[in-house]
Amino acid sequence: MSFREMLSGTDVIHVGLVSGPAAALAVEDLGYDGLQVGGGVSAMHEYAVQDGLITPAEVIEQVRRVRAATDIPIMADLDDVGGVPPYVRRYVRAAEDAGASAFVMEDIDCLGRWRWSGVTNGWDYQHQRMREAEAQADLVKAAVDARRNSDTVIIARTDAFITQSMDEALRRSELYIAAGADMIMIIGIDADSASQAAHLNVPLTGLVDLEEGKYDPVEHERLLASGLRLLIYMKGLGDQYQAAIDGLGQASSLIGPRRAAPAASLFARLGVPEMVHDKPPNE
């Protein structure tokens, strides 16, 4: 069953976030409805680079590998899909050819995150640097025009709730829907704020963070009852590094001296800041 077919029903759709085929098989075996090949997890786990330094083409290659391992529906995280209409056209069609039946496109200006600062004489990195809403709506329209399969689901993501306000997130969502988006993902939306977006009249998606210390079963129950139609379940991005440290570390004392003490996380090992979404600002 495709994402489009599942959306025609009324049940909540449960999607597991993965970086490659092995995790995809786990998602399938655990009974999830589908999976998302994530940009951040693929960057960290498969390429050992910071989130934002992976291209849509590399995510699409992960989609192709996952599709070879499982038949369940695949959603691709394509970041800003290249940021200009010609790239959007190429990447949307490549994602479909690789086996994705849905994809997420975000309104973070991925290349624009990196700008030279004359004040610090260095590169200024901001994770949430937003593209102009009207320009992003044009990219959504380009994605709608590019898809060759009418069943392909386009999920327009906005980070405006956590960087500006819910009013701005809703304004952007309305523009993206008018441009043809099938679903909306508002980063930061929870059971309390979901009702503010109910008038959008398209299915809404949210995130469930399964990281130890963050997962709240009670909040999860509330989220399930909030009206969101699709939930993406995510785990910490440093898991594979820590799993290797825990497993291979058992024999390390018999191998020889360590080159360095294991880092606290994969983020620390690579020397990059953790990707932490700020809480939504008060309106």
Question: pTM of this prediction?
Answer: 0.91
Q: Helix 39-46 vs helix 56-69: angle between axes, to the nearest 10 degrees?
A: 80
pLDDT in tens, 58-76: 999 999 999 999 999 999 9
Q: What is the pLDDT of residue 172?
A: 98
- Element (DSSP H or E) covering residue 176: helix 166-178
101: domain CATH number is: 3.20.20.60
> Any idea how long the chain is?
283
Q: The tokens 């849509």 sit on which residue?
A: 56
* Residue 12 contacts residue 221 (beta carbons within 8 Å): no
Summarize pLDDT for 155-164 with one digit per residue, the tens: 999 999 998 9
214 domain-assigned: yes
Judge whether 147 lies within some domain. yes
What ranges make up the beta strands (E) of the chain? 13-18, 34-37, 74-77, 102-106, 114-117, 122-125, 153-158, 183-186, 204-209, 230-234
List the one residue out of 148, 140, 146, 205 whose CA is nearest residue 175. 140
In this predicted structure, the answer to whether residue 223 has a pLDDT above a threshold of 90 is yes
Domain that holds residue 161: 3-270
User: Does residue 70 fall inside a structural domain?
Assistant: yes
Q: How far apart (Å, rounded) are the C-alpha atoms in residues 209 and 283?
A: 24
- Does any domain span residue 36? yes
With respect to residue 54, please indicate whether it lies within any of the assigned structural domains.
yes
| Residue 275 falls inside a structural domain | no
Residue 145 belongs to some domain of the structure: yes
Total of domains in the chain: 1
Whether 64 is covered by a domain: the verdict is yes
